[in-house]
Each structure stands twice: as C-alpha cells, then as structure tokens.
Amino acid sequence: MNGFDLRGRHVVVTGASRGIGLAIARACADAGAAVSGLSRAGASEPGIDAIACDVGDAASVERAFAMARERHGTIAMLVNNAGVAASAPLGRTSDELWQQIIATNLTGTFLCSRAVIGEMREHRFGRIVNIASIAGLYGAPYIAAYCASKHGVIGLTRALAAEFAGSGVCIDAICPGYTETDMMQQAVWQIVGHTGASPEEARAQLAAMNPSGRIIDVATVVRGAMEFLTGDRNGEELVLA
C-alpha cells in the first residue's frame, strides 16, 4: 500500500502500457484497486489486467469497457491518460497527423468518459481524471494539433464537471509540463534532428519551457492523480509544471 486506499474499486487507466499511465495503473494496484489497463498493445503484469483498445475508435472502446466490466465489475474510476504527441509547423501538419492526435487525445477522452458515466451516475459515485497538459492552457509554436486536442480536453473536463456537479461523480484534469517519459524523449530527438543540438542541450531547452525550469517526475503526476481519485474535488485543473 502507498498511503492511498482504493480497495474495492475498479479503476480503468487508458494508455497504461508505459510512461505516466503505467505508473498510475501501478499506484492504483498498490492501493488495492482492481485495475484494467487499456492500450493498443499492452501486456498484463501482476495487478494490471491489460485490455487491447484504441481509444479513438468507438467500437474498440465499447468492446474494451464491456470486457473490463465483465472481468472486474462496475467501473468506479477512469483515468483518461492515453495520448500521442507530434510537432510540425501548421503548413506541414497533414490531415492524418491532425486526425490521429485529435482522435486519440480528445475523442478518446470523450468516448471513454461516455462509456462509464451511466454506471457512475447510477451508483452516485465516480471519479474521472483527465491527463491534459500545460499545452491545454497555453499556446506554443509547432504543436497546433496537440495544443488544440489538449485545450479540448480542458474544455471537456470543465463542461462535464458542470454537468455532473452534485451527482457524486467528480471530473478533474492534470496539466503536466514536460515529464520524463518516452513521449518527452521523442521531443528530445526531434529537437536534436532539427537543430543539431546535443541531447543534453535539447533536454535543457525542454526543461526551460516548464515554469519550474525542471523536467517533471512521473511520480509527481501519479501523486496528483491519486489525490484526485481518492478525494472529492470537482472541476479542478492541477498544473504540475
């Protein structure tokens, strides 16, 4: 146990095959929850029951949530974490890139939230935590699709928090800055490739974009998610940057 108690709860974490999602799924399992971990190609590990799902595909989401429910019962908590990122100037943002990012980050959050809201309302209890980004609150160059998708996630969080206020279902968002995961490593290689900077210089550039001047630890994001899951705050945005 890690100081949080989720015994008796079934938590679904999307994007649970690596990075922030895997760390949140592990923390939920440590806290005693039954955990369904969704990703396109995730492998189960003790305490995390992996289910294949493309969160941007409505039929795939329907199948995955039905399977999660069949295996572990009513879903009490959902962490919408699955996400993809890529950078490109607007003129080189292809239709495919735009659609993939919006489908995964924004439509995925909508589809998964819609999949659980009925049972949460029925039981007058539910927690939905959306992993957005500081790119959901501020603009930045060369990430129009990502930024638009994460602004959408923040708008969706605010709308749902208002819609379900007082129902026992709480919906909140976490807005991390650059965080130590594979996704951030990709951004490092992209800067190296485009500018000829060394990997260390690229990391320093990304760190400098966070208000703290530091890369955020995955553990900090996990703590924020666990506090939302075990508390009763609604409609809040936790900035960890």
Ligand X SMILES: NC(=O)c1ccc[n+]([C@@H]2O[C@H](COP(=O)([O-])OP(=O)(O)OC[C@H]3O[C@@H](n4cnc5c(N)ncnc54)[C@H](OP(=O)(O)O)[C@@H]3O)[C@@H](O)[C@H]2O)c1
* Residues forming the site for ligand X (CB under 6 A): 14-21, 38-42, 53-56, 81-85, 104, 131, 133, 176, 178-179, 181-184
| Token couple for 238 | 């936790």
Nearer CB in complex with ligand X: 16/161? 16
DSSP secondary structure letter of residue 182? H
Nearer CB in complex with ligand X: 15/126? 15
Q: How far apart are CB 166 and ligand X at their closest, in Å?
A: 28
- Write down the catalytic residue from 138, 142, 146, 178: 146
- Say whether 146 is catalytic: yes
Q: How far apart are CB 151 and ligand X at their closest, in Å?
A: 12
- Beta-strand ranges (E) seen in 115-221 are 126-131, 169-176
Q: How far apart are CB 21 and ligand X at their closest, in Å?
A: 5
Q: How far apart are CB 129 and ligand X at their closest, in Å?
A: 11
DSSP lists the bridge partners of residue 129 as 79, 172
Beta strands 34-39; 48-52: pairing state: parallel
Nearer CB in complex with ligand X: 96/232? 96
Cα distance between residue 122 and residue 69, in whole Å: 15
Buried b (16+ CB within 10 A) or exposed e, 103-131: bbbbbbbbbbbebbbebbeeeebbbbbbb
Nearer CB in complex with ligand X: 126/177? 177
Active site residues: 146
